[in-house]
Chains A and B, each alone.
Chain A
Amino acid sequence: MKKVISGNQAVSYAVLSAKPQVIAAYPITPQSAIVEMLATFCATGDLHAKFINVESEHSAMAACIAASVTGARTFTATSSQGLALMHELLHYASGLRLPIVMANVNRALASPFNLKADLSDSLSQRDTGWLQFYCESGQEVFDTIIQAFRISEELLLPVMVNLEGFILSHTYEAVEIPEQKEIERFLPSPPPRECLDVEHPSMFGSTTDLYINFRYKMHQAMEKAETVCQDVDDQFQRTLGRGYGLVQSYECDDADIILLAAGTIASSCRVVADRFAKKGVKVGVLRIRLFRPLPKGPICHALKNTPKIAVIDRDFSPGCGGILAQEVKAIFHNENRKVPIYEFIAGLGGRDVTDEDIERIIEQTLEAKEPGEITWTGLLK
C-alpha cells in the first residue's frame, strides 16, 4: 500500500513491519516523531514490543544491549547529541556482537546549537563497529531499515541507518509499504544465536587478555559485510522489487568530473548534472549509501576513468576537513592511478546546498589545474 508519510514515519512503519520485541529510546529533535509513533504502536497493541522509557540515550542503548543479549530483536532511534551520549555504549553493542538496529536522524552537533541536517554526528561514530547506511528518500529509509535487521542478524553486528534531519525526516513522500506477508518472507524471525540463559548464568564481555582475537573477529565480520549487504539488497530486489546497491552511480562512465556525496545532496547533484549534460559537459554523480564498511571495490570501479573527483561533505572534522573526502583519498592511496580529489564543505547545520552551489563546485573543479585547499561553500562574504 502506498502512503504519503514523512521520513520519520517511514522509519516507524518499517520498524512496525520488522516486529522488534524491545524498543528503548529517548526523544530528541528531529527524531522524536519516530519514538512517539512507535510508543503509540506499542500502546495500542499494533506492535507487541516492550517499549522501555529511559532517562537518556546512554540508558536507551544500555537497555537495548541488555535486551539484545537475551536474543530479542531490538531497535532504537536517536540524533546528534543523543548519539554522542551513546558513544561509549556503541562500542559495547558491537563488541558484544549484538544485532541492534538504530535510526539516526542526522543533526548538527553543538556548539553552537543547531537542529538541522549535518552528517558529522554519525560520521564521528565511524570507529564504533557499527555498519552505517545513508539514505536519500523516504522509500529508501523504509527499505533500508528492513534490510538492516537482516544484515545485522546475519553478521551479528549493529547497523545504523541515517537520514538527514528535516530534509528527509520531515519531508512527506509517497512510500510503498509492502504487505506484512511479503516483509516476513524477506525478514523472518531472527535466527538463533548465543544468548543469555537464566538456567546457565554467564557474563557477556568479561575481562580477557584475548581481546585482540575478539577484535579480529569483528574485523572478519566487517570484511564480510560488503558481500552480505549486497546479497541482502539483491534479495530485497527479488522479493520486494527495489534495490539500491552499496553506492549509486549516475552517468559515471566517461564523465569529465564525478561529484561524490552521501544523502540528499546527491539528488540535487543529479539535477545539476543533467543541466550540464545539455551543455555537453559530462558530470557523473556517485552517492555513498554504505559508509561503514566503505565499499572500496564499487567506489574504485565507479571512479575508474574520471579525471577529476569533487567530494561534497555535509560534515566536518576540524583539523582535517571533510570526512568523505578523507575516506575516498585513503582508498586511492594504494591504487596505481592517482585521481585529483577536490574537497568541498557545504550545507553544515542544515544550510541549503542549492543548485547554484553545485554549479559553482563543478565549474571551480573543472577550471582548477590541481586541488588546492578545501573550499567552503555558502560562507558569508
Chain B
Amino acid sequence: MKKGYGTKSLEELPLTAISFMTTEGNETGEWRSQRPVLDSEKCNRCGLCWMYCPDQAIRTRENSYWISYEYCKGCGICATECPKGAILLVVEER
C-alpha cells in the first residue's frame, strides 16, 4: 500500500495511519537534486561507497557496484568518500 489509503472515504480510514508495506515501497529517488554518476573505469571496487551510503542505494553485482536511482537521495556522501574520484555529482535534470 503506497502512502496510505488510496480512495478510501473518511469513514473507512483507520484511526491512525497504519502501513503494511516495508520502507522498500517508499522510493526516495525523487528527492534528489544532484545525481551521483559512477565511472566504472576509475572504480577500484573498494566498497567504501557501499559502506557509507546511508540509504543502501549502492548495490553490488558480480564484483562491481551500481547506484539505485529509485532510492538515492543525492546526498553525495559516496562521492566524498570515494578515494579514486570515481563518483561525480551532476545536477539532476528532470
Contact = CB atoms under 8 A, between A and B. Distances in A.
Contacts of B17: 204-208, 210-211, 214
A200 B3 CA distance: 18
Interface in A88-104: 95-97
Contacts of B21: 203
Interface in B53-84: none
A335 interface: no
Contacts of A202: 18-20
A211 B18 CA distance: 12
A210 B5 contact: yes
A334 interface: no
Contact of B15 (A200, A210, A214): A214
B9 to A, nearest CB: 10
Interface string A194-229: 100000111111111111011011000000000000
A273 B80 CA distance: 75
Contact of B13 (A200, A203, A206, A210): A210
Interface in B7-27: 10, 13-22, 26
B4 interface: yes
Contacts, number: 52
A156 interface: yes
* SS of B interface (majority): loop
Interface in A208-263: 208-211, 213-214, 216-217
A206 B15 contact: no
A166 to B, nearest CB: 38
Given A194-B15, A214-B13, A200 B4 contact: no
Given A203-B19, A206-B19, A194 B14 contact: yes
Interface of A is mostly: loop
Contacts of A96: 16
B4 A210 contact: yes
Interface residues of A, number: 21
A209 B18 contact: no
A194 to B, nearest CB: 6
Contacts of B15: 97, 156, 194, 214, 217
A223 to B, nearest CB: 14
A171 B26 CA distance: 54
Given A213-B10, A216-B10, A205 B16 contact: yes
B18 A217 contact: no
Report which residue of B14, B15, B18, B19 has the largest number of chain A beta carbons within 10 angstroms of its beta carbon. B15
A204 B17 CA distance: 6
A96 B16 CA distance: 5
A99 to B, nearest CB: 11
Nearest to A210: B4
Interface in A137-195: 156, 194
Contact of B3 (A205, A207, A214): A207
Nearest to B26: A207
A113 B13 CA distance: 46
A211 B10 CA distance: 11
A206 B10 contact: no
Given A210-B13, A213-B10, A217-B13, A204 B4 contact: no
Q: What 7 pairs between A and B have smallest CB-CB spacing?
A: A206-B19, A97-B15, A208-B4, A208-B17, A203-B19, A202-B20, A97-B16
19 contacts: A95-B16, A97-B15, A194-B14, A202-B19, A203-B19, A203-B20, A205-B17, A206-B18, A206-B19, A207-B17, A207-B26, A210-B5, A210-B13, A211-B17, A213-B10, A213-B13, A214-B15, A214-B17, A216-B10
Interface of A: 95-97, 156, 194, 200-211, 213-214, 216-217
Interface of B: 3-5, 10, 13-22, 26
Given A205-B17, A208-B5, A210-B4, 19 more contacts: A95-B16, A156-B15, A194-B15, A201-B22, A202-B18, A202-B19, A203-B20, A203-B21, A204-B17, A204-B18, A206-B4, A206-B19, A208-B3, A208-B4, A208-B17, A209-B3, A209-B4, A210-B17, A214-B13
